């Protein structure tokens, strides 16, 4: 069926223009017309009210959608602002629910007003008979009680005295306590509905082999509605090598992209300035990726890890056709921004982190030196220097509007970007990250009609590909 869509403004490139009509047919954009011209075409017209924005659907270039889906079924501690309430909630939950292992997700000790220290003693008071794990919101830290430590034994990054586990255990928690493929599928479907309700159509999911399998089953069953690029964690590299998977293998719904490694940790867990690999190790990995044609995503938050990647990349990669990426890129040196641009390194930023933890009186300000804080997510500088970057949420949470606010209202005023640029970075700019810049991310003839319309409060009003009631976590008054 042919249909014409006319909103108040339309995002073309990084400009919001008026009086534009989009002709859509069978999931494709067939033509772009002048709104006045469209009146004489005899094709049904759908007109949206004042202050609406029509744009390509959001592309989230850094998610953990499948593990988020699984965690949706786990009790969440994120809403609490008192440690006491966290403990009470967990105690109550354990009394009422029978589980082999109790995994609580999303706790954020930086928000607790009474006491922001938590160790295994606190969890032992809840229960010393049942294994309990609290996973921090950043994903890089977890607290275990004595029973959980007893079951897991020793694992890298776990301090058995305090019960604090950094990096390995929290990052691989669903590997250690594996959900079934069916559970993963169920989780993906839940998370997919939330993504779609935010106007997200395409994502990169950084995940494991079982989730990759779950996605393949969902696609065969006709249930996959998102366009998904799969990135696997480093420990699956042998699998990738043995199977012979190469970058951009798949189709417009599901494809393999590459592999993610960690060069540092997170600010929240105090590991953002700890280098997890030597230059030699990183060079070895980069060369392997080049040899086996696998895209590399390097998690680098602090300036040390960012600098390390750029330094090693410069020595080892001549042309970035695999579109190797830096993830987060939160506190770069100015010189490294310029180098990243020159070397054509792809960068996925998380502007929701600025919204959640930025500012002169927030978590980043408390954990970092002033000098470092002043280099927090330099979006305006990156635009001015023509850095190839896009936005993603890291699923904290998925809501793109939260990130757009973070970028537009940046606490460093000189680093604020326009709404148009923020929308562009959350849609058009992401297409290249999925090797789909000729198919999605633009309101252009021949492209998929992955089109959304936002209302005056920046809430999803309409999608051209699905009929659904918008769902929202946040009351965003824009």
Question: Footprint of Zn ion on this chain (CB under 5 A)?
Answer: 299, 327, 394
Return the number of the residue (56 or 170) whose C-beta is nearest Zn ion. 170
d(CA 89, CA 385) in angstroms, rounded, equals 48
Judge contact between 119 and 148, C-beta under 8 A. no
d(CA 355, CA 243) in angstroms, rounded, equals 41
Q: Minimal distance in Å, beta carbon 15 to Zn ion?
A: 31
Return the number of the residue (394 or 420) whose C-beta is nearest Zn ion. 394
Q: Minimal distance in Å, beta carbon 136 to Zn ion?
A: 13
Q: Minimal distance in Å, beta carbon 51 to Zn ion?
A: 34
Q: Minimal distance in Å, beta carbon 139 to Zn ion?
A: 7
The greatest distance separating any two alpha carbons of the chain, rounded to the nearest whole angstrom, comes to 76
Which parts of 306-459 are beta strand (E)?
325-328, 346-349, 389-391, 451-454
Q: Minimal distance in Å, beta carbon 299 to Zn ion?
A: 4
Return the number of the residue (119 or 172) whose C-beta is nearest Zn ion. 172
Q: Collapse the DSSP code of 133 into the 3-class scheme (helix H, G, I; strand E, B; otherwise coil) and give the result.
A: strand
> Which residues are within 8 A (CB) of 262 and not within 5 positions of it... i.e. 6 or more apart?
167, 171, 234, 276, 277, 298, 299
Return the number of the residue (298 or 401) whose C-beta is nearest Zn ion. 298
Cα Rg of the chain, angstroms: 23
Return the number of the residue (327 or 399) whose C-beta is nearest Zn ion. 327
Give the β-pairing of 164-166 and 132-136: unpaired
Residue nearest to Zn ion (CB): 299
Number of other CB atoms surrounding residue 236 within 10 Å: 18
In angstroms, how far is the first alpha carbon of the chain from the final one?
Answer: 34
Report residue 312 as tokens.
């090693």
Q: Minimal distance in Å, beta carbon 206 to Zn ion?
A: 6
Return the number of the residue (227 or 260) whose C-beta is nearest Zn ion. 260
d(CA 327, CA 350) in angstroms, rounded, equals 9
Return the number of the residue (5 or 267) whose C-beta is nearest Zn ion. 267
Q: Collapse the DSSP code of 44 into the 3-class scheme (helix H, G, I; strand E, B; otherwise coil) and give the result.
A: coil
Distances (CA, A) of 280 to 269, 319, 336, 389, 474: 26, 20, 20, 26, 44
Return the number of the residue (67 or 427) whose C-beta is nearest Zn ion. 67
d(CA 376, CA 210) in angstroms, rounded, equals 35
Total count of residues recorded for the chain: 478
């Amino acid at each position: 069926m042919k249909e014409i869509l006319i909103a108040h403004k339309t995002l073309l490139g990084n400009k919001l223009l008026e009086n534009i009509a989009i002709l859509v047919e069978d999931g494709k954009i067939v033509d772009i017309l002048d709104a006045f011209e469209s009146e004489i075409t005899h094709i049904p017209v759908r007109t949206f009210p004042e202050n609406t924005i029509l744009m390509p659907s959001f592309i989230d270039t850094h998610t953990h959608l499948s593990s988020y889906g699984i965690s949706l079924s786990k009790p969440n501690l994120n809403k609490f602002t008192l440690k006491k309430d966290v403990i009470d909630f967990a105690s109550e939950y354990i009394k009422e629910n029978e589980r082999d292992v109790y995994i609580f997700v999303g706790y954020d000790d930086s928000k607790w007003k009474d006491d922001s220290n938590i160790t295994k003693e606190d969890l032992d008071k809840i229960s010393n008979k049942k294994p309990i794990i609290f996973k921090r919101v950043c994903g890089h830290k977890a607290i275990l009680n004595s029973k959980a430590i007893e079951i897991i034994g020793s694992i890298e990054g776990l301090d058995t005295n305090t019960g604090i586990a950094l990096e390995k255990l929290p990052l691989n928690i669903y590997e250690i306590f594996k959900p079934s493929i069916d559970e993963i599928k169920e989780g993906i479907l839940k998370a997919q509905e939330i993504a779609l309700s935010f106007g997200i159509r395409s994502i990169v999911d950084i995940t494991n082999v079982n989730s990759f399998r779950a996605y393949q089953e969902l696609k065969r069953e006709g249930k996959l509605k998102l366009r998904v690029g799969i990135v696997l964690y480093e420990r699956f590299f042998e699998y990738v090598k043995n199977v012979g998977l190469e970058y951009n293998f798949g189709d417009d719904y599901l494809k393999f992209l590459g592999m993610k490694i960690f060069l540092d940790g997170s600010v929240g867990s105090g590991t953002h300035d700890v280098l997890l690999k030597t230059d030699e190790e990183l060079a070895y990995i980069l060369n392997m990726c080049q040899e086996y044609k696998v895209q590399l995503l390097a998690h680098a938050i602090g300036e040390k890890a960012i600098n390390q990647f750029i330094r090693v990349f410069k020595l080892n990669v001549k042309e970035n056709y695999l579109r190797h990426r830096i993830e987060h890129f939160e506190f770069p040196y100015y010189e490294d921004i310029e180098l990243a641009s020159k070397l054509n390194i792809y960068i996925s930023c998380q502007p929701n982190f600025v919204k959640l933890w930025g500012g002169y009186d927030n978590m980043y300000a408390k954990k970092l030196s002033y000098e470092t804080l002043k280099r927090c997510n330099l979006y305006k500088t990156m635009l001015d220097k023509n850095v190839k970057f896009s936005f993603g949420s890291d699923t904290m949470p998925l809501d793109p509007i939260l990130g757009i606010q973070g970028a537009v209202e940046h606490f460093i005023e000189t680093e604020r970007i326009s709404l148009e640029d923020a929308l562009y970075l959350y849609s058009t700019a992401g297409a290249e990250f999925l090797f789909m810049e000729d198919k999605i991310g633009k309101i252009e003839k021949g492209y998929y009609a992955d089109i959304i319309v936002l209302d005056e409060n920046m809430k999803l009003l309409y999608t051209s590909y699905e009929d659904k009631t918008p769902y929202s976590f946040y009351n965003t008054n824009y």
